Structure 1
Amino acid sequence: MVPKIKDIKVKDDYKLIVLFDNNQAKEYDAKMLIERHKSFHVLKDKMIFSMVKVDAGGYGISWNDDIDLSEYELWKNGRDVENVMN
C-alpha cells in the first residue's frame, strides 16, 4: 500500500522532495517528465513549477486542473532521501 503525501518541497533543477505520511521522504526528478510529455512543458517555467500543491487527502500533487502526479508515481519513482522537511 502506497502512503499518502503529507508535504512537498520544491528544489532546484525541477526536483521535488515529497514527505509521505509514514515520514519517509523521496526526491522526485521531474525534468524528464517535463521534457518528454507535452502536457508538462508549461512547468519549464520555474515560477509555475514552484506552485505545486498537495492534493486533498494526499493522493497526489498538482499544479493546476490539468497537470498532476499521483502518490504512486512519486513513491515508485522517487529516490529515498533523508527527511529534510523539519
Structure 2
Amino acid sequence: MPNTVEYYISKGFDSKAASYFASGRRKPVNVVPQDSFRLIITFDNNEKRLLDMSSYIQKGNVYYILSDKSIFNRCYIDSDGSVCWDKDPNIDSEKDWSNKIDIGADNCYLESKALC
C-alpha cells in the first residue's frame, strides 16, 4: 500500500499532501523573488509555482528579517533543495548553519499555487 494516496491518508496526511507525496516529491531548481514578498519557484518537473511569503513574515518569528527587501531578494536554492536566505551575506551558511533561514522543498510545493 505504500506510495498511494490512501496510504498517506491512513497516516494522517490531508488529501492535498497525500496526493503530493503519492505522486512523487518535487525539488526546487530555481527561485526568483517578486514584488509583495512572493517567489516564483521552478521545480524539477519544470512546473512553476507562486509562493506568497507575506504571511510568513511576522514580527517576532524567524522570517521577520525577510521584511527587508534587500535580504528577501537574495533567495537561493541550497544543496538540499530548500529555498534559503542568508542573514549575513558575508558568512558562509554551509559552515555556519545559524546564518541561514530556509523553507523546505515540500512546504514550498504544498504552500504554493501553480502558475498557468
TM-score (norm 1): 0.86
Determine whether 1:78 maps to 2:100.
no
Separation in 2, partners of 1:67, 1:77: 17
Measured on the aligned residues, the alpha-carbon RMSD in Å equals 1.4
Cα drift, residue 66 of structure 1: 3.4
**Any stretches of 5+ residues in structure 1 without a counterpart?**
none
Structure number with bigger Rg = 2
Counterpart in the other structure of 1:54: 77
Match of 1:39 among 33, 58, 62: 62
Stretches (4+) displaced over 6 A = none
Structure 2 Cα separation of the partners of residues 42 and 32 of structure 1 = 13
Q: How many residues align?
A: 81
Q: Distance in 2 between matches of 1:37 and 1:79?
A: 26
